[in-house]
Amino acid sequence: MTEYTTPPGQPPEPTPDMPPASLPVQPASPPVVPGITLRTSEALRRTKPWVMFISVLMWIAVGFMLLGAVFILFAGFAGSLFGESGVPEGLMMALMALIYVVMAILYIFPAILLWRYGSRIGRMLATASVSELEGALEAQKSFWKFIGIFAIALIGFYGLLVVAMMVVGVIGAFR
């Protein structure tokens, strides 16, 4: 048996006659991306499941919105055929269904961007590629750009809606 000396605090050097249980165990670590710290890689690895989860929730929301649109159309059609509902009510139901479809379409884009971001994080961690990290960050930037533009448009829409309601109120007051 060959004797090896190791510095204090260090695991012993493996020898051919050592039992496997006494060999030092190295924890599995993600591949190192050149120029990226291990802490950054670990943060991205921990972020990925949440990004994918939110993306899946958005896809589920798209499905429910489209189902809601179909249900609203069916209810409006059935109401106009079998009930006392006239054409204006049927048109209102169709308009509501159209709003649901538009909302579903608007949800598709951020869902795709989040899915792309999560997928590229996974590829970056698997391949240790800086280009995959850049792709992930590009997808994240696109997601936040879409959300920012959407938020600005929504604020503008709400502002127009408030002005329109004020105009209708003033017109109604003078009748």
More confident residue, 168 or 81: 168
CB distance 121 to 44 below 8 Å = yes
CB distance 114 to 62 below 8 Å = no
Tokens of 39: 């802490």
Q: Which helix (H) or strand (E) holds 101?
A: helix 87-127
Q: At CA 165, angle to CA 162 and CA 166, rounded to 5?
A: 85
pTM as predicted: 0.69
Residue 17 reports pLDDT greater than 80: no
Please tell me the least confidently modeled range out of 22-31, 48-57, 116-125: 22-31
- Summary count for the chain: helices (H), strands (E): 3, 0
Q: Which helix (H) or strand (E) holds 69?
A: helix 38-82
DSSP letters spanning 77-93 = HHHHHHSS--HHHHHHH
Residue 109 and residue 58: Cα distance in Å, rounded? 10
Domain range list for the chain: 36-170
Banded pLDDT at 129 (limits 50, 70, 90): confident
Helices 87-127, 130-173: axis angle to 10 degrees equals 160
Q: What are phi and psi of 78, to 5 degrees?
A: -65, -40
Residue 124 reports pLDDT greater than 80: yes
How confident is the model at residue 15, as a pLDDT? 64
Distances, alpha carbon 2 to alpha carbons 13, 17, 21, 55, in Å: 11, 9, 19, 57
Please tell me the least confidently modeled range out of 3-7, 32-36, 100-104, 123-127: 3-7
Residue 113 and residue 136: Cα distance in Å, rounded? 10
